[in-house]
C-alpha cells in the first residue's frame, strides 16, 4: 500500500496464567491506508476490542509488530509512545462510562487539547463542540446533562482534540437508539472526510459497517478469517463463517422484495478461546468441514482485494 498508515503484523495478545491462557488475539495481520476505514466484525469475544486496544496501545501485545507510519510501536515505552498517543485516538461504546461524571465537558475535552494558554484552550474546546454539532455555550455542563447521543458527540470531540490521523471506534453507536445512531454515523462520516482521518471501526452491526467502511475484516476466535473491500465481502463472501454471519443478519429489504434471502443457520456456540479447536477454528460449526480442516490450519489466500482462510472456499 503506497500511503500506508497502519500495518499490524502477526500480533498476538494472550491473557491470564499459562494453564488458562485466553488467546484473545492470536496472530492477526491487517493494513490501513491514510484516510481509509476498516470495519472489524465478528461474534462477541472474538478479539475485536482487544485488537483495537492493541492498536491504540492501551494494551501491549504478547508478540508481533504494529507499524504506525513506519515505526513499530508494539514495544515502545510510555514516554516514547507519547507523540503517537495524540495521533491515534479511541472512541468507546458506552458514552455513559467513558466520560468522567465529575468534570465539565469543557474540562474533559480541554484536557486532551494540546498544551496552550487557558484562553486558547477554551476557544479550541468551543470550536470542537461546534464541529461535533453541540452548542458551544454548553461547555460548562456536566456529562449527565447530556443525552446518550450528545455524550457520544463529546467523546468524539475529545478524540478530535489532538488532531488524530487514526481513530479506533469500538462500537461507537451500538448503545444508542436507531435515530441517534444515524446522526452519529453521519457525523463520523463527515469528520473523517473533512479531516482525512482513518478509522478502525469495531462493530457487530453489519449494516452499519457496510454503510461506513471501505474495507472489512472478519474475525473468529482471535483470528482473521476474511478481509476484503466492503463490496467484495458483502456481495461475494468466501469464508463459510462470513457467509453465515451475513445471512443471519435480520434484513429489512425482505419487506420490499417479498422474498427472504436464503439462510445459513449456525448451530452451537463459539468454542472457548482458552482451548480453540485444532486446524481451522471454525470447524466445530462449519457445514463444509472435513478431515483436513481438523489437522491443518488454513492460510489466508486470494487477491489484494479479497483474502479468506478456508480449505474449501
Partner 1 sequence: MTTTPYLAVRDLTVAFGDVRAVSDLSYAVPLGRTLAIVGESGSGKSAAALAVMGLHDPATTRITGSVTVGGAEVVGMAPAELRALRGSRAAMVFQDPQSALHPYFTVGAQIAEAYRAHNAVSRRAARAHAADVLGRVGIPAARRRLDDYPHQFSGGMRQRVMIAMALVNDPKLLIADEPTTALDVTVQAQILDLIADLRREFGSAVVVITHDLGVVAEIADDVLVMYAGRCVERGPTRTVLGAPAHPYTWGLLESIPVVAEKPARLRPIPGSPPNPRTPPTGCAFHPRCRYPERVGDTACRDRMPELTGDGDRLSRCHLPRPDQVFRAEVLPLLGTGDQHVR
List of residues contacting ligand ATP (CB under 6 A): 15-16, 22, 24, 42, 44-50, 204, 273
Closer residue to ligand ATP, CB minimum distance, 170 or 232? 170
The closest alpha carbon to 26, from 45, 5, 7, belongs to: 45
From the list 29, 62, 104, 183, which residue makes contact with partner 1 (rule: CB under 8 A)? 183
DSSP 276: P
Residues 132 and 49: their CA atoms lie apart, in Å, by 24
Cell of residue 171, nine digits? 462500537
Residue 152 within binding range of Mg ion, rule CB under 5 A: no
Residue 298 within binding range of ligand SF4, rule CB under 6 A: yes
Residue 63 within binding range of partner 1, rule CB under 8 A: no
Residues 170 and 24: their CA atoms lie apart, in Å, by 16
Closer residue to partner 1, CB minimum distance, 249 or 299? 249
Neighbours of 241 (CB within 10 A): 27
Neighbours of 263 (CB within 10 A): 8
From the list 37, 49, 152, 217, which residue makes contact with Mg ion (rule: CB under 5 A)? 49
The 3-class secondary structure across 209-238, one letter per residue, is HHHHCCEEEEEECCEEEEEEEHHHHHHCCC
Subset of residues 128 to 167 that bind partner 1, contact rule: CB under 8 A: 147, 149-150
Who's near 286: CB < 8 A, 6+ residues apart?
A: 240, 241, 280, 293
User: Which of partner 1, Mg ion, ligand SF4, none sits in contact with 49, Cβ below 5 to 8 A by type?
Assistant: Mg ion
Please work out the total of residues on this chain that contact partner 1, with binding judged by CB under 8 A. 54
The closest alpha carbon to 224, from 72, 6, 11, 7, belongs to: 11
Total residue count of the chain as it appears in this document: 313
Residue 288 within binding range of ligand SF4, rule CB under 6 A: yes
Residue 36 within binding range of Mg ion, rule CB under 5 A: no
The closest alpha carbon to 9, from 72, 63, 64, belongs to: 64
Residue 303 within binding range of partner 1, rule CB under 8 A: no
CA angle 37, 39, 45 (to 5 degrees): 150
Count CA atoms within 13 Å of residue 62 on its CB side: 18
Largest Cα–Cα separation, the chain: 68
Closer residue to ligand SF4, CB minimum distance, 63 or 272? 272
Contacts of range 180-185, beta carbons closer than 8 Å, 24 or more positions apart: 180/147, 180/148, 180/149, 180/152, 181/208, 183/133, 183/149, 184/149, 184/152, 184/153, 184/156, 185/211, 185/212
User: Which of Mg ion, partner 1, ligand SF4, none sits in contact with 84, Cβ below 5 to 8 A by type?
Assistant: none
User: Minimum distance between the CB of residue 16 and ligand ATP, rounded to whole angstroms?
Assistant: 5
From the list 4, 43, 87, 94, which residue makes contact with partner 1 (rule: CB under 8 A)? 43
Residue 110 within binding range of partner 1, rule CB under 8 A: no
From the list 36, 37, 93, 243, which residue makes contact with partner 1 (rule: CB under 8 A)? 243
Closer residue to ligand ATP, CB minimum distance, 47 or 298? 47
Instruction: Give the per-residue contact string, 212-251, with ligand SF4 (x = CB under 6 A; - = no).
Output: ---------------------------xx-----------
Residues in the site for partner 1, rule: CB under 8 A? 43-44, 147, 149-150, 177-183, 185-186, 189, 204, 206-208, 210-212, 230-231, 234-237, 243-258, 260-263, 265-270
Residues in the site for ligand SF4, rule: CB under 6 A? 239-240, 280, 282-283, 286, 288-289, 293, 298, 310-312
Amino acid at each position: 500500500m503506497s500511503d500506508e498508515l497502519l500495518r499490524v503484523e502477526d500480533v498476538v495478545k494472550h491473557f491470564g496464567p499459562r494453564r488458562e491462557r485466553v488467546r484473545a488475539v492470536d496472530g492477526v495481520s491487517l493494513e490501513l491506508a491514510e484516510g481509509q476505514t476498516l470495519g472489524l466484525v465478528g461474534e462477541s469475544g472474538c478479539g475485536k476490542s482487544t485488537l483495537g486496544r492493541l492498536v491504540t496501545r492501551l494494551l501491549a501485545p504478547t508478540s508481533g509488530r504494529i507499524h504506525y507510519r513506519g515505526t513499530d510501536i508494539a514495544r515502545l515505552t510510555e514516554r516514547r509512545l507519547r507523540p503517537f498517543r495524540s495521533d491515534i485516538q479511541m472512541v468507546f461504546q458506552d458514552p455513559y462510562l467513558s466520560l468522567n461524571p465529575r468534570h465539565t465537558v469543557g474540562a474533559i475535552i480541554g484536557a486532551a487539547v494540546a498544551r496552550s494558554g487557558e484562553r486558547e484552550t477554551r476557544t479550541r474546546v468551543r470550536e470542537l463542540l461546534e464541529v461535533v454539532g453541540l452548542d458551544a455555550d454548553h461547555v460548562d455542563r456536566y456529562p449527565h446533562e447530556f443525552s446518550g447521543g450528545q455524550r457520544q458527540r463529546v467523546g468524539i470531540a475529545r478524540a478530535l482534540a489532538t488532531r488524530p490521523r487514526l481513530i479506533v471506534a469500538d462500537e461507537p453507536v451500538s448503545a444508542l437508539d436507531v435515530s441517534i445512531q444515524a446522526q452519529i454515523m453521519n457525523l463520523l462520516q463527515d469528520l473523517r472526510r473533512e479531516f482525512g482521518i482513518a478509522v478502525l471501526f469495531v462493530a457487530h452491526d453489519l449494516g452499519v459497517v457496510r454503510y461506513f467502511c471501505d474495507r472489512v475484516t472478519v474475525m473468529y476466535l482471535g483470528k482473521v478469517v476474511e478481509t476484503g473491500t466492503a463490496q467484495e465481502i458483502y456481495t461475494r463472501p468466501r469464508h463459510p463463517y462470513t457467509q453465515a454471519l451475513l445471512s443471519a443478519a435480520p434484513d429489512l429489504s425482505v419487506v420490499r422484495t417479498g422474498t427472504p434471502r436464503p439462510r445459513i443457520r449456525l448451530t452451537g456456540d463459539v468454542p472457548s478461546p482458552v482451548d480453540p479447536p485444532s486446524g481451522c477454528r471454525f470447524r466445530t460449526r462449519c457445514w463444509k468441514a472435513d478431515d483436513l480442516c481438523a489437522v491443518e490450519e488454513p492460510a489466508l489466500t486470494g487477491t489484494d482485494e479479497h483474502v479468506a482462510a478456508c480449505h474449501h472456499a
